[in-house]
Amino acid sequence: MSDIERRIEAIEKANRRWRHAVGLLASVLLIALTIAIVLTIAAKMPDKVAEVLRAKRIEVLGPDGNPVIELKAEGDVSTLILSGVGQHNEKGVALGVVKDVAYLILAKHKEAALFWAQVDDAGASLSLYDGRPGSQEPRGVVMRSVYPTEHTLGETNITLMRGWQKEGIQAQLSIQGPAGAPSLYLGGPDGKAVSLRVNQENGRVEFLDESNKSVWSSP
């Protein structure tokens, strides 16, 4: 072996020793740094978990970065909203309280509530709709019960709706007043309507026009 070859081999051995020493030193430093971080975090952690979490708004984000759960309180309105995008439409659930009204809504998308339950000081109501957008006049069934007070007689009714507005009532079965006499209202898209009731004095079946005047009665 020549002198040059011996020198090259010595240099290579020295480089290997330095690499081993540097690697060992880096490992020691990494372990020391990890221990220091753990001790620092442990020192800053509270002895116990907080019993109360206070916030005006809490959001849980989905994979796309948009909120899928919202819990918020703004003025007289407190709501919990869950939302998500399905195969065809965005779905949502809302539970809230607005002053003296508590409600639960299940929605197909922002324009169409499929289920609406509500409780207020006057009574309770339940609405079921077919999910069409408002521009397509969704069909629905609305059940409402209001107990009597010194200012109202109280009523219980089941209503078939076309659209959201009162003008969209197609049929309604009602029990009104303290006597609880039932009546049936039948309407149509052209505004024509008739009501059917049983006269509690003579037992006759009466048909009433839009102005609540009798137009026919059974013999």
pLDDT tens, position by position, 209-219? 777 777 778 87
For residue 124, the model assigns a pLDDT of 94
DSSP string, 86-131: -SSSEEEEEEEEETTEEEEEEEEETTEEEEEEEE-SSEEEEEEE--
pLDDT tens, position by position, 25-43? 555 556 666 666 666 666 6
pTM greater than 0.75 (yes/no): no
Return phi, psi of residue 161, to 5°. Answer: -115, 150
The domain segmentation of the chain, as residue ranges, is: 1-45, 50-107, 111-219
